[in-house]
A and B are shown apart, each in its own frame.
Chain A
Amino acid sequence: MDTAVLRAEVRAQLAQIGQADIVIGIPSYNSARTIGHVVRAVQAGLAKYFPEHKAVIVNADGGSTDGTMDVVRQSSVEDYKPIMLRERVEPIAKLAFPYSGIPGKGSAFRAVFEIARTLDAKACAVVDSDLRSITPEWIELLVKPVLEGGFDYVSPLYHRHKFDGTITNSIVYPLTRALYGKRVRQPIGGDFGFSGKLAQFYLSQDVWQSDVARFGIDIWMTTTALANDFKVAQSFLGAKIHDAKDPGADLSDMLYQVVSATFDLMERYPNVWMPIHGSEPVPTFGFEYTVGLEHINVDTSRMLHVFREASRNLGDMWLEILGNGDLREVERLASSDDESFRFPPGLWTRVIYDYAIAFHRQKMSAAHLIRSLVPLYIGKTASFVIEAQDMDQAEAEAEIEKLCKEFENEKDYLTTHWRQP
């Protein structure tokens, strides 16, 4: 048993616990403001839906300086009566410790997988520490399909504002769906359920010294489950509201992390994704309901300004990646006015496939390549905002569905060029 990533005191605590049916992981970094609510929601969820199961809550912390781990240790549901529950039969153990290894969410997850293996857990889930909208039902929805439905991986399904999650909606979801043939709507959702068997499989992969340990763990978990034929489902969790985003978080860093992780996985599984055509839905659990979402302000004129300036400055680089035909289309697009600005789905699909092919052929450094995608992505996002301005949630979703179909229909373009030397 390799528990090298766990400290001696954690191993001692695990030895005391012995075995557990359910492990819930909460990776954290300076989340003292929100993690208390998350811990209480998890405790209530375990008490309400899994009272007969032995469960452990694991907080793998990345060296917080705001007392996150103290909050975890102090947080508990004091009184079960207001939430109409009796005291649960099995007590819930709680572990809070700083994880070892490369700093990043991936290393935190690795510690959770290690604990799941050590405790021989049947089902696990991981939830973000900055969630404000988590309810006890999330635990049921992420764990029950594994524990009682025989599924290995449960992806989240949220209701989000039509302008939120644009990297997911315009790149990760359409691409993952076209590549692996499964309609997993939130492949990088951040809150997942998985079986003990899958946790062990994750641990056996030689990725923990790579970028997966730092970032890209979400898409890696989803793709690994899809590409290795594990049983995948998704659960409707309602709205995803979390703490105000980090104002220092840079779009180009985010895009680089997500897209490079997705392209890296394409390199790993070409024999899996190449023969797949079309896609099929995955079983979905949970009761879908409409969620009232806050209005979002978007300044499309500034976004289009960035796109147009970049098309003047990055033309030579884009030519190398997109080729002459698509570059001409992008330049035509840049010269159109704000009202009529529409990024055609076919062009966007080829842009993403061209970038994947350029990444595969190592045309330039991965960081430069993917960061040069930022203005194109901004243009695509602005186009979607303009198009979907007056659409309701369902109509906006239908637009995303159209884009996904385009990715599926154009997949031959990707496979043909991928194979060429």
Chain B
Amino acid sequence: MTEFVEMMFVPLQELFEQFKAFLPGLFAMLVILVVGILLAKLIELILTKSLTAMKFDGWSDRMGVTTLMRKGDMWGKPSAVVGTVVFWLLTIVTLMGGMSALNVDAIDQLVAQFFGYLPRILSAVIVMVIGYVLTGFVSRAVLIATANRGFHYAKLLAEAVRFLLAVLIFAMVMEQLQIAPSIVLAAFSIVFGGIVAALAIAFGVGGIDAAKRVIERETMEKRAEEQKDEIEHL
């Protein structure tokens, strides 16, 4: 009977000892989590207020970031969205930090991998945001410049520029994230090279007459404009 009780008690005792050893780590994790989340909330609040004061929402409107958010069904103010994103990033970082306090090898490895990858995620996000803003700006500039000259395919050209830039940005983001970099590089080279080759063939061989007509018409229109329009606008 005593042996039977011991057989039951020893594992329980070992479990209790392990739990006792684990308890400070768990407690540390909880403290890290609570303090980390509170700090993250405070940073979110300060960041949102600062961005509002710096008129970040107006800038986002102008740059088309707000439109992108609306398309993605995000209806908050851009400053609030940035605040929320930063809050969750910090919360994830806090969670990882808290988990490493548990001193479990498997979790430690996971945490190390996460922190090793984090800079890549951040730089990919930055490339994506800057890329999106730049793409919108450049394609709109192309649209306006060509439309102001009466170009029939202005919208098509602007969309083509937007698409090409989006492909470029996508390749850059994938390269940052190190997701199948060799395949992405090869695919990008094939797509971009293919487009350029197609245009060269279309204009150089198949569309040589059409290209000639377009250039001649543009030149003639320009000449006619210079000769005929003598208005002084100012």
Assuming the A-B contacts A298-B228, A364-B62, are A165 and B151 also in contact, with contact meaning beta carbons closer than 8 angstroms in the complex? Answer: no
Asked whether, in the complex, the Cβ of B234 is within 8 Å of the Cβ of A254, the reply is yes
- Chain B's interface size range is 20 to 34
Task: Check A298–B229 contact: CB distance below 8 A.
Answer: yes
Contacts of B59 in A (CB 8 A): 362
Size bin of chain A's contact surface: 35 or more
Q: Tell me whether A314 and B225 are in contact (CB under 8 A).
A: no
Residues of chain B lying within 8 A (CB to CB) of residue A167: 233-234
Residue-wise, chain B 146-184 has the 8 Å CB interface mask toward A (1 for contact) of 111111101100000000000000000000000000000
Whether B154 pairs with A297 at a CB distance below 8 angstroms is no
B156 CB, nearest partner CB in chain A, Å: 9
Chain B residues, CB < 8 A from A258:
234
| Contact surface of A with B, Cβ cutoff 8 Å | 160, 163-168, 188, 245, 247, 251-252, 254-255, 258, 296-299, 302-303, 305-306, 309-310, 312-314, 317, 361-365, 368, 371-372, 374-375, 381
For residue B148, which residues in chain A have a CB less than 8 angstroms away from its CB? 251-252, 306, 310, 371, 374-375
Partner of A298, one of B145, B231, B234: B231
Q: Which residues of B contact A298 (CB under 8 A)?
A: 228-231
Cross-chain pairs A/B with CB under 8 angstroms, 13 sampled: A251-B148, A252-B145, A297-B230, A298-B229, A298-B230, A302-B150, A305-B150, A309-B150, A312-B155, A362-B62, A363-B62, A368-B140, A374-B144
Docked-complex contact B234 and A381, CB < 8 angstroms: no
Chain B residues near A252 (CB-CB < 8 A): 145, 148
B230 in contact with A313 (CB, 8 Å): no
Output the least CB separation between B108 and chain A (Å): 48
Q: How far is the CA of A362 from the CA of B221 in the complex (A)?
A: 35
CA A375 to CA B221, docked complex, whole Å: 17
- Tell whether B141 is near chain A: CB-to-CB under 8 Å: yes
CB <8 Å contact, B230 and A371: no
Q: Are B232 and A310 in contact (CB under 8 A)?
A: no
Please tell me if B143 contacts chain A, counting CB pairs below 8 Å. Answer: yes
**Distance to closest chain A CB from B199 (angstroms):** 21
Return chain A residues, CB-CB under 8 Å to B228. Answer: 297-299, 302
- How many Å lie between the Cα of A276 and that of B232 in the bound state? 31
Complexed CA–CA distance, A258 and B140 (Å): 21
In the assembled complex, the CB of B37 is this many whole angstroms from the nearest CB of chain A, namely 34
| Complex CA distance for A371 and B149, rounded to whole angstroms | 11
Distance between A297 CB and nearest chain B CB, rounded to angstroms = 5
The residue of chain B having its C-beta at the shortest distance from the C-beta of A304 within the complex is B150
> Which residues between 184 and 234 of chain B lie within 8 Å of chain A, taking CB atoms?
221, 224-234
- A363:B61 contact, CB within 8 angstroms: yes
Q: How far is the CA of A375 from the CA of B64 in the complex (A)?
A: 22
